[in-house]
Amino acid sequence: MSARKIIIDTDPGQDDAVAILLALASPEVEVLGITAVAGNVPLPLTARNARIVCELAGRRDIRVFAGCDAPMSRGLVTAEHVHGKTGLDGPQLPDPTMPLQDTHAVDFIIDTLRAEAPGTITLCPIGPLTNIATAFRRAPDIVERVQEIVLMGGAYFEVGNITPAAEFNIYVDPEAAEIVFGAGAPITVMSLDVTHKVLVTGPRTEAFRAMGTEPGRMVAEWTDFFERFDKEKYGSDGAPLHDPCVIAWLIEPTLFSGRQINVEIETKGTFTQGMTVADWWGVSGRAPNAFFAGDVDADGFFRLLTERIARL
């Protein structure tokens, strides 16, 4: 079976970095490009960090594009409290030497969807949805050409992680999320409901460190840093590896289960802006618009992730 062509839209972030490594280690997917967006840290850092990860994987051939530096219609909220000042805190990392592409990320997304055959490109947003929504707004014709959008964002049973009601990626740019969820392209949602079930416990972190490879060491040291926030807040025994769930879905979808439901985005609520109103119980009568993952085989997920990272 030929590799699935994907564009990863990202705001690295330690968990984004692991997702990118998983994609670059997996022959089931072909990364056509990586588009950086402002999110966990400002755009110059997310564009820097994406290239650091590509160089760590020995993939200086991957094209990295800088995208939107702020949400569509509100100020940027970042998450240095989770990811550190650089967004990849933990190990000391040299600046990348591979160049950033001159083309804007939104133009790359539009041009790629127009150039490739309809239904052959999967968009994998693992940060705020600003780049994707801006591309859809600027070029509505590309929406029907998208094979699938597989995104990390939102929550239902797990409620919010940046506010009591909202998950970070959706909260940063709710207007963008509203555009994406309302566009009509097939959407698969990896929300906190599944990502909070893939915790990098001590033994799982040690499995990365024991690889004796630079990528394995980096993943362990990123996890050592990244997990302190969630362990303190939730009392959990490890950090949730949010973004790699998107790539794992593409490689081994049977690791996940969920429902095709209606998901709307709250953009106006006093206390609920950025909330994904997921109609898990089918009470709204609104048409289903997304496959919302609800459960995951965590051991199977880490088996896959560990086996693939060890290949780098």
Which residues carry out catalysis?
Answer: 242
Q: Which residues contact 255 (CB under 8 A, 6 or more apart)?
A: 248, 249, 296, 297, 300, 301, 304
Which residue, 77 or 310, has its beta carbon nearer to ligand RIB?
77
State which of residues 67, 71, 84, 127 lies at the interface with ligand RIB (CB under 6 A).
Answer: 127
Which residue, 142 or 256, has its beta carbon nearer to ligand RIB?
256
d(CA 44, CA 174): 22
Pairing of strands 276-278, 263-265: antiparallel
| Contact between 156 and ligand RIB per CB under 6 A | no
Residue 140 Cβ vs Ca ion, minimum distance, rounded to whole Å:
26
Which part of the chain contacts ligand RIB (CB under 6 A), choosing from 11-19, 60-68, 180-188, 270-278? 11-19
Which part of the chain contacts ligand RIB (CB under 6 A), choosing from 46-54, 94-102, 116-124, 163-171? 163-171
Q: Which residues contact 133 (CB under 8 A, 6 or more apart)?
A: 72, 173, 175, 176, 177, 179, 180
Contacts of ligand RIB in 210-239 (CB under 6 A): none
Is the distance from CB of 172 to CB of 153 less than 8 angstroms?
no
Contacts of Ca ion in 27-86 (CB under 5 A): none
Is the distance from CB of 255 to CB of 308 less than 8 angstroms?
no
Residue 111 Cβ vs ligand RIB, minimum distance, rounded to whole Å:
25
Show the site string, 32-51: x = touches ligand RIB by CB under 6 A, - = not. -------xx-----------
State which of residues 16, 193, 227, 279 lies at the interface with Ca ion (CB under 5 A).
Answer: 16
Q: Which residues contact 112 (CB under 8 A, 6 or more apart)?
A: 7, 32, 33, 121
Among left, alpha and beta (phi > 0; psi -120 to 50; other), residue 27 is alpha
Which part of the chain contacts ligand RIB (CB under 6 A), choosing from 28-36, 106-114, 165-173, 262-270? 165-173
d(CA 140, CA 69): 21
d(CA 178, CA 149): 14
Count CB atoms within 10 A of the CB of residue 208.
Answer: 24
| Contact between 242 and ligand RIB per CB under 6 A | yes
| Contact between 11 and ligand RIB per CB under 6 A | yes
| Phi–psi pair at 237, nearest 5 degrees | -100, 30
Residue 93 Cβ vs ligand RIB, minimum distance, rounded to whole Å:
17
Question: Which residue ranges make up the site for ligand RIB (CB under 6 A)?
Answer: 11, 13, 15-16, 39-40, 126-127, 152, 161, 167-169, 242-243
What is the binding site for Ca ion (CB under 5 A)?
11, 13, 16, 126-127, 243
